[in-house]
Chains A and B, each alone.
Chain A
Amino acid sequence: MIHRYLIKLSLLIIAAFTIIIFFKANMVYAAKTGEAPGRKLAKQAVKDSKRWSTIDHSKVDALNQRFSSGEEVTEACISCHSEAATQFHKSIHWTWLASGNKNDIRYGKAGLSVNNFCISGNAMEDKGCLSCHTSWNKKGVQGVVNCLKCHNTSGFNFEEAFTDIKGFSGDDDPEIVDIVKEIQEDVKTALVQIDFPNRKSCGDCHFKGGGGDGVKHGDLDTSLVKPNRKLDVHMGIDGKNFTCTRCHTTTDHNIAGRIYTNPAVEKRKSLIEDDLAPKITCVSCHSNAPHKNDSKMNDHTDIVSCQACHIPTYARVNPTKMWWDWTNAGKMKDGKPYVEKGPFGKPVYKSIKGEFKWDKNVVPEYYWFNGSLTSATIDDVIDPAQVVKVSHPVGDGTDPEARIYPFKIHQGKQPYDKINKKLVAPLLSGKKGFWTTFDMNDAIEQGNKTLGIPYSGEFDYVQTTYAFPITHMVAPKENALNCTECHIRENSRLANLTQLYLPGRDKSKALDTIGWLSVIGAILGVFFHGMGRIFIRNGKEK
């Protein structure tokens, strides 16, 4: 009787297994052909890429005048776009503060945040930084919004034109008057070409952050002004030719993207789940199961970011800065500051900045990342005995929002306050800045004053790291990583990551030893048994 129930139970279990397997197998083999779902969805999301507009700026009266200053241009813009400046004043591109509250100056270029490049924006007192601020004439938040900083697509240098016009003003020489008129005509011609920002508009600042091409990000440099598909499938001019704002979607002049400690999005949502979601994540257009149904890859997306495999290396065309050591800044040659060039034709030493190392085609470092980064400020106490993480990804394997994500880790040495054990914010440009005085102690004194943080008067240098998420320069799918870049015992790209079992990389030493001992035991056993049999001819006499 018992047997009969056992048989029935076994058959039931087998039937259940079989159903599961058939279901899974069906999924596996059903959609082998055709396009990967992620591509299909993404193509659909961007198929209507031709933008249309109801305005021809060359017919707008407000623009049909002779401008003699940037401020006048902005006034003309606002005469129609009445809320543009009001909106823009609240955006981080204007305030350089992460918080919407302008009294909260903790995080931001204009706040207490520091990096390990030019270190601090010194509350916009460091005028050198302001060439990237979206105001006219480096006036910072005291000035008037320079709409053309982002919306100029003509390539015309308005700032220079208006400086010239200002220089010529009050001169009655008819020849000069003619020149001014000519410049003003050029301004007008360029002005009516205003449009949504293109890659160059954003890149003028974002490709050159930190004082030069490719200094900061590693996945953003001037090679992306006109990239090919191989460098970036999305922005490639022979590919989709996306502008930045194709993904960095915008509301009220606030542009989607990560802001200091704030993630770009709280949750990865596809446009199917929420068609008003910012298109900032890969998932927005590609969904979270983008590969063909038969692909094991889709099982990765719960812990591995798309970027981890699809950006095999960064800085693939232009080199990027990997190391910046301020310690030896200020050396002179014949009493003058100098520059020394090295590999890639890039400077390896600058008197005003110290020593650099550059690299190209760099393999990223990988960390768990939930979208947030820590961000050190000059008000945080540090441990100078350790490498200080000025910026570092947040997240671990237990965080459901965290993914394994590629990073550029920029290393360097920068000054800190020996007594207060805090990083410091030396002032660089201007009469009192380090680039003029070459006196670091005084530069720190001046710089910390701009932010209201006391300085003890004693400084030393501490090693620091700064993390940049690598998310641009997505390669065509055929250039995505092979499995064995990570699934391998030695030199796995993910060698430093714990909290996951990675097949091919991981093993249980104890269990593997037991297993292999049993295998070796079997081999030795049959070997000696067999030798015994051969040797005594199975006990048979010849």
Chain B
Amino acid sequence: MKVNKRIKIYLYTRFERLWHWLQALMVTCLIITGLEIHGTYKLFGFQTAVTVHNFIGLTWLIMFAFFVFWLFTTGEWKQYIPTTQKLFSVIRYYSWDIFQGKPHPVQKSTGAKHNPLQRLAYLGISAMLLPIQMITGLLYYLHNDIPQFIPLSALANIHTLVALFLLNFLIIHLYMTTTGHSLFSHISGMITGWEEIYETTKIQDWETKATKKG
């Protein structure tokens, strides 16, 4: 197998990293407190769990507004446009090729931070699960302040289901960070901003078409 020289590129800006880790922290806290409110276990005490959950939830909403603003003003939203190109080779990679030491079919680059599978997953999360979670959460929070057009049970049940889906994502996401060339290379990329890629990998045109400047 041919070994390519690895180089580091600056992939994640400061805001992006801040948002990512803040989001990670908030999601973790929200899931832990949320499941306590749901009655799954006793940990901080119901009242504390509710207070913390509400506070973080509201913080999340405000932070998310900044994220969306950043996404659209920088044009980074185009990174989430789904594509079927190479989607199946990525799926094949993770389910088969990875066990044989074959290289990843799609390399990261400034113009294409996410592989096609990631794009699909992140789009689903950012455009579907998170908005559902934020809307149901906000309506739940404001249940006594605004006309109640959705029953609390529906809001709560959807909110719980999506939370569990997000927990599912979190588990897979955490695991996937270990699939770089070393166990922690993806994580260190998200901490420092610099991600290691193979020098010789040619970035395909279709990958960067949308984000190409000029």
Interface residues of A (CB under 8 A from B): 7, 10-11, 14, 17-18, 20-21, 24-25, 296, 298-299, 302, 482-484, 487-489, 500-501, 503-508, 511-512, 514-516, 518-519, 521-523, 525-526, 529-530, 532-533, 536, 538-540
B70 → A minimal CB distance (Å): 12
The residue that B175 contacts in the complex, of A489, A515, A521, A529, with Cβ under 8 A, is A529
Q: Please, which residue of chain A has its CB at the minimum distance from the CB of B40?
A: A489
Asked whether B143 is an interface residue with its Cβ less than 8 Å from the other chain, the reply is: yes
Contacts A519-B171, A522-B168, A522-B171 given; does A299 touch B143 at CB 8 Å: yes
Asked whether B88 is an interface residue with its Cβ less than 8 Å from the other chain, the reply is: no
Q: A515 touching B163 by the CB < 8 A rule?
A: yes
How far, in whole Å, are A533 and B180 apart by their CA atoms in the complex? 12
Report B-chain residues with C-beta under 8 Å of the C-beta of A302: 144
Asked whether B118 is an interface residue with its Cβ less than 8 Å from the other chain, the reply is: no
Q: A518 touching B165 by the CB < 8 A rule?
A: yes
Asked whether B203 is an interface residue with its Cβ less than 8 Å from the other chain, the reply is: no
Contacts A17-B61, A519-B164, A539-B98 given; does A24 touch B141 at CB 8 Å: yes
Of the listed residues A20, A302, A482, the one surrounded by the most CB atoms of chain B closer than 10 A to its CB is A20
Q: B161 touching A25 by the CB < 8 A rule?
A: no
A527 → B minimal CB distance (Å): 9
Q: A296 touching B50 by the CB < 8 A rule?
A: yes
Asked whether B152 is an interface residue with its Cβ less than 8 Å from the other chain, the reply is: yes
The residue that B98 contacts in the complex, of A10, A298, A522, A538, with Cβ under 8 A, is A538
How far, in whole Å, are A516 and B38 apart by their CA atoms in the complex? 13
How far, in whole Å, are A522 and B50 apart by their CA atoms in the complex? 27
Q: Please, which residue of chain B has its CB at the minimum distance from the CB of A524?
A: B171
Q: B171 touching A14 by the CB < 8 A rule?
A: no
Q: B171 touching A504 by the CB < 8 A rule?
A: no
How far, in whole Å, are A299 and B152 apart by their CA atoms in the complex? 13
Asked whether B124 is an interface residue with its Cβ less than 8 Å from the other chain, the reply is: no
Q: Mark B175-207, 1 if CB is under 8 A from A, else 0.
A: 100110000000000000000000000000000
Q: B72 touching A10 by the CB < 8 A rule?
A: yes
Report B-chain residues with C-beta under 8 Å of the C-beta of A500: 152
How far, in whole Å, are A488 and B36 apart by their CA atoms in the complex? 10
19 contacts between A and B (CB under 8 A): A14-B69, A24-B58, A25-B58, A487-B37, A487-B46, A501-B153, A506-B156, A507-B38, A507-B157, A515-B165, A518-B165, A519-B168, A521-B168, A522-B168, A526-B172, A529-B94, A532-B99, A533-B179, A539-B98
Asked whether B68 is an interface residue with its Cβ less than 8 Å from the other chain, the reply is: yes
B contact residues, total (Cβ < 8 Å): 49
Q: A526 touching B144 by the CB < 8 A rule?
A: no
The residue that B144 contacts in the complex, of A299, A484, A523, A536, with Cβ under 8 A, is A299
Q: B50 touching A515 by the CB < 8 A rule?
A: no
Q: Mark B46-78, 1 if CB is under 8 A from A, else 0.
A: 110011001000100110010011001000000
Report A-chain residues with C-beta under 8 Å of the C-beta of B168: 515, 518-519, 521-522
How far, in whole Å, are A516 and B72 apart by their CA atoms in the complex? 34
How far, in whole Å, are A296 and B61 apart by their CA atoms in the complex? 19
How far, in whole Å, are A501 and B161 apart by their CA atoms in the complex? 16
How far, in whole Å, are A511 and B69 apart by their CA atoms in the complex? 33
Contacts A299-B144, A515-B163, A518-B164 given; does A503 touch B156 at CB 8 Å: yes
Give 18 A-B pairs besides A515-B168, A538-B98 with Cβ atoms closer than 8 angstroms.
A11-B68, A11-B72, A17-B65, A21-B138, A299-B144, A483-B45, A489-B39, A500-B152, A504-B37, A507-B39, A508-B161, A511-B157, A515-B160, A515-B164, A518-B164, A522-B167, A538-B101, A539-B101
Q: Please, which residue of chain B has its CB at the minimum distance from the CB of A302?
A: B144
Report B-chain residues with C-beta under 8 Å of the C-beta of A526: 171-172, 174-175
B141 → A minimal CB distance (Å): 7
Report A-chain residues with C-beta under 8 Å of the C-beta of B165: 515, 518
